[in-house]
Amino acid sequence: MPVVAIAIAAVVAVIVLIIIFKMVWRVAEPNEALIISGLGARSKPIDGIDSLGFKIVTGKGTSVLPGFQVSRRLRLDSRAGHLEVNCVTQQGIPVKVRGVVIYKVGDDFVSIANAARRFLEQQDSMDDAIHELFTGHLRSIIGNLTVEDLILNRERLTSETRSSAADEMSKLGLVVDSLQIQEIDDETGYITNLGRPHAAKVAASARIAEAERDQEATQREQETERQKASVIRETEMKKAEYDGQVKQAEQLARQEVIQRETRNAELEAERTERRLESEVRKPADAKAYEQVKLAEAEREERISYAQAAATEVQLKAQRESEAIRLMGEAQADATRLKGLAEADAIKARGQALAENTEAIIAQQLAENWPEIVEAGAGVFGNVDNMIVLNGAQGVEEMLAKALTLGGTGLGLARSLLAGQAGSPNGAPNGKPANGLAPAESVPVTAPAKPETDPDND
């Protein structure tokens, strides 16, 4: 409860403050000035003028103490005052002048102060004061001007009126934005009569111009009629000429029709003759020509068939003889190339053996090593139990001795060496390549030369 009471009291206090602020604070609109008078409402000296007995505020807000100060508003926007003056010109001619003056309170503080002292409570009476002020000045100025001046130089009238009323408007705190003379009337018809000579001159000029235009129009009409008659005459002549041309064209057309009909008759006769020729004579000629051509075609066909058969037999015989010749040449070339290849192989083997005997012997040993080992292993054929010491080295030494002491394996190796040494392309002077004595000779059988296929010779 205490919190709610405090909140309500705070809200009430804020509302009261807002109400007091609205009662105290005043804001001047852009088109008005606040005139504040009362306790402490004094303005500062302006342009050498002593302080006023009231305060002027424009375009901002200020505080006003209720009961001690009073605030009033003075409008600064424009106003329009209508003028209607009956006066007499310098020539003694009575005229009625209608116009409008647009004025307002000046924006400076001096003008606002002057207007506030005179119209603050009577702002609606400004129009009457302006009307009376400008009416008097217009009467005095128009009395020194002629009607012609009023008509031809209204700017002089407005400028003199504004100049003569400037001091009084300044004292009232007002300024003139615009002064316009809208209408000038006279009851005697002076202005109307003033314009008649010019109007008569203008009317005369208009009638003269109208008569000249009528004369020119008449001349143009006559000229047009002459041209029209000339055109009609030329038209009639051209029409007659055209009619003659039309008749001549019709005669020519009839002649052309007759000629065309004659030509058609001739063409019809020619067509009949051609039809008879095409339907009777030409079919007969065509049939005879067809028989002749058929006989010639049959004869040509038999001749062509016989020639084709003879040509085919001749070509077949030529192909068979050419095939036999080519087959023989191929077999002969194959036999010759085979012999040359064998001779080259023997020659190359002999050269290789002469140049590198050791390598050839090693190759032969390597190629026949299984037989050599098998022959040497025959030494151990009758051994039941054999103990080998010193591991793999012992086995190697034992095999070497067996090959050395075994007659069969060593004899086979020696026979191979003797065969290489005794070949025609072996070592020179018939000596063994490795310097060993020749062993038992083993006959070496040369490979048999393949027989030549009699079908390929």
CA distance 361 to 418: 10
H helix or E strand, kind and range, residue 151:
helix 147-152
φ and ψ at residue 7, rounded to 5 degrees: -65, -40
Residue pLDDT, tens place only, 70-110: 888 888 888 888 888 888 888 888 888 888 999 888 888 88
pLDDT of residue 413: 54
Render the burial of 305-315: b for 16+ CB within 10 Å, e for the rest: eeeeeeeeeee
Specify the pLDDT at position 450.
41
Low-confidence ranges of the chain (pLDDT < 50): 48, 409, 421-457
Q: What is the pLDDT of residue 447?
A: 38
Provide the edge-to-edge strand list for the sheet that holds 174-186: 79-88, 94-105, 174-186
Residues 417 and 434 sit within 8 Å (Cβ to Cβ):
yes
**DSSP states along 8-42:** HHHHHHHHHHHHHHHHHEEE--TTEEEEEEETT--
- Residue holding tokens 């002020």? 133
pLDDT value of residue 7: 82
**Structure tokens given for 252:** 């020519």
Q: How far apart are CA 442 and CA 422, in angstroms?
A: 11
CB contact set of 251 (below 8 Å; sequence gap of 6+): none
* DSSP state letters, 192-222: HHHHHHHHHHHHHHHHHHHHHHHHHHHHHHH
Cβ neighbours, 10 Å, residue 148: 13
Give the model's pLDDT for residue 429.
40
CB 58 within 8 A of CB 34: yes
Considering just the CA atoms, what is the radius of gyration of the chain in Å?
A: 79
* Residue that has been written with the tokens 């009238």 in this structure: 157
Query: Which residue has tokens 């009362």?
Result: 38
SS3 of residue 185 by DSSP = strand
What is the rounded distance in angstroms from the CA atom of residue 191 to the CA atom of residue 96?
Answer: 12
Q: What is the Cα–Cα distance from 229 to 242, expressed in whole angstroms?
A: 19
Q: What are 80's strand-pairing partners?
A: 102
What is the reported pTM? 0.40
Eight-class DSSP state of 366 = H
Q: Measure the CA–CA gap between 405 and 49, rounded to whole angstroms.
A: 164
3 state SS of 341: helix
